Every structure is written in structure tokens, then in C-alpha cells.
Amino acid sequence: MRARGFGRIAAIALAVAAPLGVGAIAGPAAQAAATTTVYYSSTGAPDYVAQIDQGAANWNAAVTDVKLVKRSSGATVVIHEIHSGGSYTQTDGHGHGDVYLDTSQVAEGFDPTRIAAHELGHNLGLPDDYEGPCSELMSGHGPGTSCTNAKPSAAEAAKVQQLWRNGFGGVKGVGTRVTAGVY
């Protein structure tokens, strides 16, 4: 499972059905314009704080239905730093998860901001698409180390908009959970 250079994603059964207290829903869920806040913590990844913030900012610039906000406690997306095995995410694909950023992968030449934005993308509900171009975040390691794009494509942003249109309840039972993948 721990293929050299890249990690994987394992689905975890977190509280999708009971989102109380895990982020704020601004306004009634029925309003399409509502923004759901997903809190992330980067204190566990001290070498990549700036890159994580940039990755989150790139998502925030591209979508309006969900917003990533840093918070040291009470975060539902918790980012960690590891030193081998490959970057990966364990997430329900909808705002709850653990991200593991691998320093050795960065040492191999992969862009840490792109990795962070990619793993955040999993937490927003997107699967991997390794065959995709560098212009996609979710193509991950596919385009190689020369790819430093850390912004979602228009299609990726549109998909996240769709997934978060109804907040935390928006994709309940719809089968959007990320169940496998690497980087």
C-alpha cells in the first residue's frame, strides 16, 4: 500500500451524518449561496504552514460554497507531517480528515503547495485523476515534479461547488467519498 513516493487515501467513517459542531453553516442549508466553513489545522506540519495556507487560499479563491479557515483547535481537517511513505489523506471526502504531508516527497522535487492543495481537494470531495493534466490539482504526481500548479481547474472548482451546495449535508449518501488514491 505504501508505494514509494506516494501515499494513499483510506476512507474513514467519520461523522458525515452528524456534523454538529464541526464547522459553521452560514445561513439555511436551502440557500444556494450559503458558505460552509471547514476548519483546518496545520500545527502538525510546521515545515509547510505557508504552503498549506496558500493551498487553502487557492481553493477559497476558486469556490464560494465552502471556505477553508485555519484554526488551531476544533479543526476537522488536521494536517500532519511525515517523513516517508508518501503524502496521503484519510478523509470522508466532505470536510473531515487527516492529511499527511511527506517531507521526503518534497525532497524528491514535488511541490509542497500543490501537494497540500491536492490533499485538501480530497477533503473537499474530489477523487484522484492521475491521467489528468498539470492544470488539474487532482492529477497529483501524474504530471511529474515539473508540475507546480497548486490551483484547481475550473472543472474541479465547479465539482466542489456542486458537492458543497447544501453544506455538510450536501452529499450525504451520494457516494462521493474518497476511498482510494495516492498523493
Toward Zn ion, which CB reaches closer, 27 or 133?
A: 133
Any contact of residue 93 with Zn ion (CB under 5 A)? no
Q: Please enumerate in sequence order all residues whose Cβ is within 8 A of that of 40, keeping only pairs 6 or more positions apart, or say none.
A: 52, 56, 68, 69, 70, 71, 75, 76, 77, 78, 79, 120, 123
How far is C-alpha 116 from the chain's CA centre?
7
User: In this structure, what are the phi and psi dihedrals at residue 180, rounded to the nearest 5 degrees?
Assistant: -160, 155
Choose the catalytic residue: 81, 119, 136, 156.
Answer: 119
Q: Which is nearer to Zn ion, 90 or 166 (CB)?
A: 90
Could you tell me how many residues of this chain bind Zn ion (CB under 5 A)?
Answer: 4
Q: Closest approach of Cβ 71 to Zn ion, in Å?
A: 24
The cell for 121 is: 481537494
128 scored as a contact of Zn ion (CB under 5 A): yes
- Is 108 part of the annotated catalytic residue set? no
Comparison of 112 and 181: residue with beta carbon closer to Zn ion: 181
Q: Which of residues 130-149 bind Zn ion (CB under 5 A)?
A: 140
d(CA 61, CA 153) in angstroms, rounded, equals 12
Catalytic residues: 119
Binding stretches for Zn ion (CB under 5 A): 128, 140, 181, 183
